[in-house]
């Protein structure tokens, strides 16, 4: 009976068709970590790919609809998601022309780390569903480009492998999933593995209502039994190259870093419920600080009040963020919330920003308005989904060229010169 319902894949692993598509095999190697000249990597290297917007359709073509929409979508009516990108149009530049700039220096310091670029890679959950290289591939690309990578709690790769894969600083994003004992265990592992900072996300009291995920059967596809999956399977079968890579990588994997003591890694079932009991409070943050004792970034700040509270609770940095429009819809775009936060913090902690970053001009505008650096989410996830490591390399190269060109056109030789004198903002933003 067992033989009828299982099939052997290339390297000797076995797909257990009775349980959905978990694949029983040893810890799979993250494939395609080094860019090789596959069709996908040739597509992202094409001279026609000149912006992040050109990578999005490549990601869409390779991924099943459910996975693409998980990456691309936002909460409710996606008002904040759209506004996060649109808002950059409200800010215009006031460049300094006729300035000779033999060199342009893109280096900055975040939490005491020298970065070659003013952007980091944001935590993006389930990256391994987008491409088998997943979190390891993204961290490796970030390290090679001289910047930092932030690993999501919702990772398919072990945090030790992600850290070992990168030559740059790696931060760990913490949800209190699996309870305090599991969180204590992962904090100890992150410390031992050499993670440089903890990023504590505070905007996830429950998971946002991502309507596209419900329509596409995302929950059924990743956690249901085979019968629950059947109605949603056609979209997956339409993407054979993604499906093949996914099965070879071991299929649906548990959350490698959420290990409840005595129970092993948490399976991907009922993530919404797990997140609902993982909300972080200021009291939790104090407890986390005691355990971690290194720098903490509070991610998900949108008001001056929360920013002040984060400073008082000892945050080394905050990220002005609305989770890429994936949590509470109709909150302001991150860039719009930045001036209030900058005014409240009064230089007492570093300020990062994430949300809607797709171009070098977006990065420059955020820095002009007071961010030390920005985090990119979907921008690099599109590249990862399109072509794994090669796709992330391409995104990082595009954004680097973009920000360097922007600085030259602004007449700024260094990031210190990128300040509020270089932008014009709507009058009510300054209040």
Ligand X SMILES: Cc1cc2nc3c(=O)[nH]c(=O)nc-3n(C[C@H](O)[C@H](O)[C@H](O)COP(=O)(O)O)c2cc1C
Residues designated as active site: 323
Structure tokens at 51: 């912006």
C-alpha angle 232/390/243, rounded to 5°? 20
Task: Give the residue closest to ligand X by C-beta.
Answer: 377
Shortest Å, Cβ 395 to ligand X:
11
CA–CA separation, 409 vs 378, rounded Å? 26
Nearer to ligand X, 70 or 232 (CB): 70
d(CA 78, CA 229): 26
**Candidate ranges 21-29, 38-46, 122-130, 232-240; the one touching ligand X (CB under 6 A):** 122-130
**Residue 391 touches ligand X, criterion: CB under 6 A:** no
Residue 125 sits in the site that holds ligand X (CB under 6 A): yes
Neighbours of 167 (CB within 10 A): 13
Question: How deeply is 431 buried, as exposed, middle or buried, from its count of CB atoms within 10 A (0-12, 13-18, 19+)?
Answer: exposed
Using CB under 6 A, pick the residue from 58, 124, 190, 407 that binds ligand X: 124
Interaction residues for ligand X, span 256-285 (CB under 6 A):
none
Report the residue from 220, 340, 354, 402 that binds ligand X according to the rule CB under 6 A. Answer: 354
CA distance 183 to 190: 10
Verify binding: residue 78, ligand X, rule CB under 6 A.
no
Exactly one of 323, 336, 365, 400 binds ligand X (CB under 6 A); that residue is 323
Closer by beta carbon to ligand X, 128 or else 412:
128
Torsion sign across C-alpha atoms 162, 202, 306, 335: positive
Please tell me whether residue 75 binds ligand X under the rule CB under 6 A.
no
To ligand X, the closest distance from the beta carbon of 154 in angstroms equals 4
What token pair was written down for 219? 């929950």
122, 162, 271, 367: which one binds ligand X (CB under 6 A): 122
How far apart CA 169 and CA 192 sit, in angstroms, is 14
Q: Which positions from 137 through 176 interact with ligand X, judged by CB under 6 A?
A: 152, 154, 173
First to last CA, the chain: 71
User: Which DSSP state fits 37?
Assistant: -
Element (H, E) at 361: helix 360-368
Q: Are 159 and 198 in contact (CB under 8 A)?
A: no
Q: Which is nearer to ligand X, 16 or 76 (CB)?
A: 76
Q: Which is nearer to ligand X, 182 or 412 (CB)?
A: 182
| Size, binding site for ligand X by CB under 6 A | 25
For position 84 contacting ligand X by CB under 6 A, the verdict is yes
Sign of CA dihedral 248, 185, 176, 140: negative
Stretch that binds ligand X, among 230-238, 370-378, 407-415, 418-426 (CB under 6 A): 370-378
DSSP class of 324: G
The token pair at 327 is: 């949590």
**Candidate list 201, 216, 349, 361; residue touching ligand X; CB under 6 A:** 201
User: Which C-beta is closer to ligand X: that of 15 or that of 176?
Assistant: 176
Residues lying near ligand X in the complex (CB under 6 A) are found at 70-71, 84, 122-125, 152, 154, 173, 201, 299, 321, 323-324, 326, 354-357, 376-379, 381
């Amino acid at each position: 009976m067992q033989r009828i319902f299982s099939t052997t894949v290339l390297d000797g692993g076995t797909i257990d068709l009775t349980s959905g598509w978990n694949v029983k095999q040893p810890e799979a190697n993250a494939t395609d970590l080094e860019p090789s000249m596959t069709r996908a990597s040739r597509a992202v290297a094409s001279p026609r790919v000149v912006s992040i917007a050109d990578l999005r359709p490549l990601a869409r073509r390779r991924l099943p609809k459910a996975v693409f929409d998980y990456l691309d979508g936002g909460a409710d009516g996606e008002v904040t998601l759209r506004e996060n990108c649109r808002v950059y149009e409200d800010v215009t530049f006031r460049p300094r022309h006729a300035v000779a700039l033999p060199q342009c220096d893109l280096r900055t310091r975040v939490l005491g780390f020298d970065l070659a670029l003013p952007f980091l890679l944001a935590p993006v959950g389930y990256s391994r569903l987008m491409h088998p290289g997943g979190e390891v591939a993204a961290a490796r690309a970030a390290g090679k480009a001289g910047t930092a990578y932030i690993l999501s709690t919702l990772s398919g790769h072990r945090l030790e492998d992600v850290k070992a894969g990168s030559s740059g600083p790696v931060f760990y994003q913490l949800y209190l999933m699996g309870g305090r004992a599991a969180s204590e265990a992962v904090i100890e592992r992150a410390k031992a593995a050499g993670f440089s900072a903890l990023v504590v996300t505070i905007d996830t009291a429950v998971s946002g209502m991502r309507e596209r995920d419900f329509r596409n059967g995302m929950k059924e596809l990743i956690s249901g039994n085979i019968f629950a999956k059947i109605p949603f399977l056609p979209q997956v079968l339409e993407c054979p190259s993604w499906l093949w890579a996914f099965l070879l990588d071991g299929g649906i994997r548990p959350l490698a870093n959420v290990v409840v003591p005595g129970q092993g890694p948490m399976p991907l079932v009922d993530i919404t419920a797990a997140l609902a009991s993982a909300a972080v409070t200021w009291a939790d943050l104090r407890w986390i600080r005691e355990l971690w004792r290194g720098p903490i970034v509070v991610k998900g700040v949108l008001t001056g009040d929360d920013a002040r509270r984060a400073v008082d609770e000892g945050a080394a940095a905050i990220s002005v963020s609305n989770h890429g429009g994936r949590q509470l819809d109709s909150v302001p775009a991150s860039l719009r919330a930045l001036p209030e936060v900058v005014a409240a913090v009064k230089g007492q902690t570093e300020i990062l920003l994430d949300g809607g970053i797709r171009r070098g001009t977006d990065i420059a505008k955020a820095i002009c308005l007071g961010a030390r650096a920005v985090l990119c989410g979907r921008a690099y996830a599109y590249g990862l989904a399109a072509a794994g490591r090669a796709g992330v390399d391409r995104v990082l190269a595009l954004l680097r060229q973009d920000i360097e060109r922007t600085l030259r056109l602004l007449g700024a030789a260094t990031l210190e010169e990128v300040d509020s004198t270089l932008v014009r903002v709507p009058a009510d933003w300054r209040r």
